[in-house]
Amino acid sequence: MNSPAFRLPRPWFIRLASAWAAAAWLLACSAAQAESLRVAGNFPADHSSSVAMEKFKQDVEKASNGELRVDIFAAMKLGSAKDNVDQVSSGSIFMTWIPPAYLSSSIPELSALSIPFAFADRQAAFRVVDGKVGTTLAGKFAAKGLVLLGFMELGPRQLTNNKRPIRSLADLKGLKVRLQPDEIHMATFRALGADPVAIDIKELYGALESGAVEAQENPFAVIRQRNFDKVQKYLSNTSHFFDFILLLANKRAFDGLRPEQQKIVREAAANAVYAQRVTAAAEDIGAIVELANRGMAFEPVRPSLRADFRRATQGVVDSVRQKAGAQLVDAVLNPGGP
């Protein structure tokens, strides 16, 4: 008679390995089910907008219980700003965060946000984009297959140069200044007597260093972050434009999300926008102090000179009315109007 079969218990390390294998399988299944949202931008990883997008990633992944996975590509890892616009338009990436200048040629109504000297301060600027102007622009983006998820702050743009302090309109005459590729921006500096040229931000430091251009304009925080103080001497708080950062998603991909997922993305974007605005305002104030401490010669713009700037660029405002529409321009310049 055969003795009953006797089975030794599996050693603990075999049982543990089996448990790990099961956990890994479940994790792999979860990852396979998770939808990946690729998000790309041209700002450095430590810029306030890029930091805010990391918050966006965390909020989306947490609120969706891992159903949505967000992959952030900052610092031009997936190409230039123009590349990112093309990628989100085609749907090869889900979302980008980008200045309006790179979209103004395809959405002319965006030019209304580029009216020179339009906003007294950031609060005035945000009242405009958070109101009916922002709603109108969202409709224009939707018609182009894009979802507008919010406006971050890039900030008031300031002028730096290597030639002289800016104390009058005459000091701008012939000044070769780098600008973003925006028709209204270029027209504004031509009206001020300067010689504007569009150069990609990644090439700007070298252009300033070599003398290919004599001047540039950016928010204080960007000037500090990109160390333009090493290749520029004079700093002026011209605040000629207030610039935003648009959060844009591919509409087809966004509409493909379930309603509850769309809500998660919208809420995470709103939280990222709020956090970034608070950080950007603080950084803007700190940057001007640091730039002065680094040795830049700061030349404040007098109210009388600012009035001269406005008079010189009135023709640009008229051209924006023709391009973007008088009603939209009036809503920007008089947000409290009828």
The domain that contains 139 carries what CATH number?
3.40.190.170
Q: Is 90 exposed, middle or buried (0-12, 13-18, 19+ CB in 10 A)?
A: exposed
* Rounded Cα gap, residues 154 and 48, in angstroms: 9
**Where in the chain does DSSP place strands (E)?**
35-41, 68-73, 95-98, 146-156, 158-161, 176-179, 195-198, 215-218, 234-236, 242-250, 297-299
38 lies in some domain: yes
Instruction: Determine the structural domain holding residue 43 and report its residue range.
Output: 34-331
* Rounded Cα gap, residues 69 and 150, in angstroms: 20
Q: What is the pLDDT of residue 196?
A: 98
How many domains does the chain contain in total?
1
Q: Do the bridges between strand 95-98 and strand 35-41 make them parallel or antiparallel, or are there none, so unpaired? A: parallel
Helix (H, G, I), strand (E, B) or coil at 248: strand
Tens digit of pLDDT at every position of the chain (338 positions): 444 444 445 554 445 445 454 444 444 444 446 899 999 999 999 999 999 999 999 999 999 999 999 999 999 999 999 999 999 999 999 999 999 999 999 999 999 999 999 999 999 999 999 999 999 999 999 999 999 999 999 999 999 999 999 999 999 999 999 999 999 999 999 999 999 999 999 999 999 999 999 999 999 999 999 999 999 999 999 999 999 999 999 999 999 999 999 999 999 999 999 999 999 999 999 999 999 999 999 999 999 999 999 999 999 999 999 999 999 999 999 988 76
88 lies in some domain: yes
15 lies in some domain: no
Q: How far is CA 288 from CA 159, 160, 285, in A?
A: 12, 12, 6
126 lies in some domain: yes
24 lies in some domain: no
99 lies in some domain: yes
* Rounded Cα gap, residues 95 and 40, in angstroms: 7
28 lies in some domain: no
22 lies in some domain: no
